[in-house]
Structure 1
Amino acid sequence: MNEFIETLSIGGTGPSIAIKDSIDIAGYATTAASRALADAAPAQQHAEVVERLLDAGWHIVGKANMHELAFGMTGINDYTGTPQNPQDASRIPGGSSSGSAAAVGLKLADVALGTDTGGSIRGPAACCGVIGLKPTFGRVSRRGVAPRESTLDCVGPFAREMRMIVAAMQAITADFDTQAAQPARSGAWNVGIVQVDATPEILKAVTRAADQADCTARTLELAGLAAAFEAGLAIINVETFHAFGHLVASGKLGADLDARLHAAANTTAAQCEAAELIRRQFTAAVDHALESVDVLILPTLPALPITLDEARGGTPVIAMSSLIRPFNLSGHPALSLPLPIDGSPLKAGLQIIGRKGADEQVCAIAARFEAAI
């Protein structure tokens, strides 16, 4: 199997963790699963999150595979191999943190770190049936993480249980309050169910989850969700091309990356200016919605993941990120929790959005949902 680019054994005797290959581990090259970076020099020092994990006694067991250059939603990688989806080997594992999600789902590690620029933690988590958290933008250090500069990207954990998500956040974040992240023993949370387009089975499961978790729930509309998706795409294109556009000339990129970077180069200044305006408007809309509820909930993905054959055959996957990318634009913490759906052995994803900086509350509410569903 190709869950890991490189098997390692570094650190203490604590929980095992895999590290996405866009995060520096001293002495090992950070190749972002790309042939174009295969000859990169070994990292001179650990990324800050890796330092924190080692200081806390965690055990690094491998560098996790990924969609090349963290610029894709399928997780398919013809250079390093495509990680297996633990729920259904015929389906895509999701990208870009495909190897991290797969490693956790296949129980090759207790936890894995990924990165999320446009849904790259939450998407694979939903595909692979595990938990994935995108923290508040800026809450977790990005020192030693590729790309070096981003206004969207966040480092966050995958796990099979919320208690391990909390443990990982405690390790990688200086000020994470584990007590505040514990589920309340009594009282109902106020939850806003965002009205979105998704398959009927997944929408039904979201509503049922709120009932099972004994939440006080009401539906609401979130203005600008579709516009935020498009704006997030424009910003990702510009920032990814700025970081990796020079690799096009190497002739060593996968065909999908070559095409996407060429397209990203055509993003205009006017598109970027419009995207920044939408960023401000959508952030305000999410903040306003969260004034009257504790969290927002909605599906992570609008449908179950497509098959590998469908993806290779050209079935579009851009809509996969329609419900996750907007919250990279706004910077709010967002978690995907496995969600049982009627008529399928596969689990979808329940996405939980909280106030900026309230990552602990998101975890506490997610633990309540975990226990209920």
Structure 2
Amino acid sequence: MSAFISEFELHARDAQGPSIAIKDSIDIAGYPTTAASRALADAPAATAHAEVVERLLDAGWRIKGKANMHELAFGMTGINDFTGTPENPQDVTRIPGGSSSGSASAVGLALVDAALGTDTGGSVRGPAACCGVIGLKPTFGRVSRRGVAPLNTTLDCVGPFAREMRVLIDAMQAIDPTFDASIAQRDASKMRVGIAAVNVDADISQAIDKAVRRAGLASCGIALDSIGDAFNAGLAVINAETWRAFGHLVDTGKLGADLVARLRLASNTTAADLDSAEHVRGIFTAAVDRALDEVDVIVLPTLPAFPITLQAARAGSSVIAMSSLIRPFNLSGHPALSLPVQVEGASLKAGLQIVGRKGDDETVCAVAAHIEAALAL
């Protein structure tokens, strides 16, 4: 069960720089971009680096290989019977999360210092929470997607994984020339936190509250009444856009059976479904913006429960609810980060999700770094 599809060493200048893995939906010149799918296994090698890869190399990062993933980035479990299923560093019996499973696994296993993934419906934050690492979905459109599949999307974002906020901030500074590390590293002790009321397992909810209290952050409760509608709308949009990008592969006979079933279901998304989803997008985006007028960040769990076992997932247990708290922020486009926090009496850490104002990814990182430091004391 490998976190990598292919391993190699690629660097521009400083061979001693930090190491990073790149999800196999992101182009690296000289290597095929297969999205961990048999249907794309014979794809020609990319002729140019994705922009984020160029920036990493220019900043002195060492690329260690292509990270494994859920096939075509269209799944939440990370299970892949073609390229193998990456190991969950927290518990080998549990799913690593998808779709950026290999990226989260490689970081959690300390095979690399950081990794890049993509997040269309929670595909960075979900695996980060499953694997006990940090994962950031930047503001939609802030980080370049040139050289990233699928080509057309209103949801997808390239984002980094790391074990420490210091490294994640370095990675963001490398891939986004507008990212200000000094703001991301500033004192966040006076930040105001809104804790969203959501339906999750009680022990995870208590862990989130305890982490905020331990960090000494002023907090208040907030309601995001339309979050359930935003989840459903996000599903409609990702279904339509994924079918548009990859539906032509269904008849190749080379896709996993589970993926074929989901793609065929996605093909049933109607124009009316998308019109309704766009209406909800406006409502939910406005609701999050209003909440962020009163607080600096919104905090809530990343996942409503711990990841299920591989056995349960293979037996058909539904995992769609995993994305109930992360998918809505793909729809709205706000930056959102998952930070691991200890859960009392549990061997696994849960994810604490921090959501910020659009374009203010630095504040999200500053709050995460403050909580990380407080929890380390």
**TM-score normalized by structure 1?**
0.99
Once the two structures are superposed, the pairs formed by residues 93-242 of structure 1 within 5 Å of their partners are 93-184=96-187, 187-242=189-244
Partners of 2:306 and 2:149 lie apart in 1 by 29
Percent of matched pairs sharing the same residue = 69
Residue 205 of structure 1 aligns with an amino acid whose one-letter code is A
Q: Is the 8 A contact 1:335 1:351 kept in 2?
A: yes
2:352 is aligned to 350
Residue 5 of structure 2 aligns with an amino acid whose one-letter code is I
Structure 2 counterpart SS, 1:283: helix
Pair 1:287-2:283 in alignment? no
1:8 is aligned to 8
Instruction: Provide the aligned C-alpha RMSD in A.
Output: 0.7
Deviations along 1:119-152, whole A, 9 cap, x unmatched?
A: 0000000000000000000010000000011000
Residue of structure 1 aligned with 2:334, choices 321, 332, 335: 332
Residue 91 of structure 2 aligns with an amino acid whose one-letter code is D
Unpaired runs of 5+ residues, structure 2, are none
Q: Is the 8 A contact 1:336 1:350 kept in 2?
A: yes
Structure 2 counterpart SS, 1:180: helix
Deviations along 1:287-323, whole A, 9 cap, x unmatched?
A: 0000000000000000000000000001110000000
Q: Is the 8 A contact 1:225 1:282 kept in 2?
A: yes
CA shift, 1:249, in A, is 1.2
Structure 2 counterpart SS, 1:260: helix
Structure 1 counterpart SS, 2:353: strand
**Count of matched residue pairs:** 372
Structure 2 counterpart SS, 1:51: helix
Structure 2 counterpart SS, 1:291: helix
2:318 is aligned to 316
Residue of structure 1 aligned with 2:31, choices 28, 33, 38: 28
Partners of 1:339 and 1:228 lie apart in 2 by 26
Residue 93 of structure 2 aligns with an amino acid whose one-letter code is S
Residue of structure 2 aligned with 1:307, choices 286, 306, 309: 309
CA shift, 1:188, in A, is 2.1
Partners of 2:350 and 2:220 lie apart in 1 by 21
Partners of 1:63 and 1:246 lie apart in 2 by 24
Q: Is the 8 A contact 1:134 1:156 kept in 2?
A: yes
Residue 133 of structure 1 aligns with an amino acid whose one-letter code is L
Partners of 1:67 and 1:352 lie apart in 2 by 25
Deviations along 1:246-292, whole A, 9 cap, x unmatched?
A: 00010100011100000000001100000000001100000000000
Q: Is the 8 A contact 1:162 1:367 kept in 2?
A: yes
Q: Is the 8 A contact 1:91 1:306 kept in 2?
A: yes
Residue of structure 2 aligned with 1:53, choices 41, 52, 56: 56
Q: Is the 8 A contact 1:183 1:367 kept in 2?
A: no
Partners of 1:69 and 1:204 lie apart in 2 by 35
Q: Is the 8 A contact 1:2 1:65 kept in 2?
A: yes
Partners of 1:223 and 1:282 lie apart in 2 by 9
Residue 368 of structure 2 aligns with an amino acid whose one-letter code is A
Deviations along 1:213-270, whole A, 9 cap, x unmatched?
A: 1010011111200000000000000000000000001010001110000000000110
Deviations along 1:133-184, whole A, 9 cap, x unmatched?
A: 0000001000000001100000000000000110000000011101000040
2:267 is aligned to 265
Partners of 1:29 and 1:153 lie apart in 2 by 21
Q: Is the 8 A contact 1:331 1:356 kept in 2?
A: yes
CA shift, 1:339, in A, is 1.1
Q: Is the 8 A contact 1:158 1:165 kept in 2?
A: yes
Once the two structures are superposed, the pairs formed by residues 64-103 of structure 1 within 5 Å of their partners are 64-103=67-106
2:253 is aligned to 251
**TM-score normalized by structure 2?**
0.98
Unpaired runs of 5+ residues, structure 1, are none
* Moved segments of 4+, more than 6 Å: none
CA shift, 1:2, in A, is 1.1
Residue 355 of structure 2 aligns with an amino acid whose one-letter code is I
Partners of 1:61 and 1:91 lie apart in 2 by 25
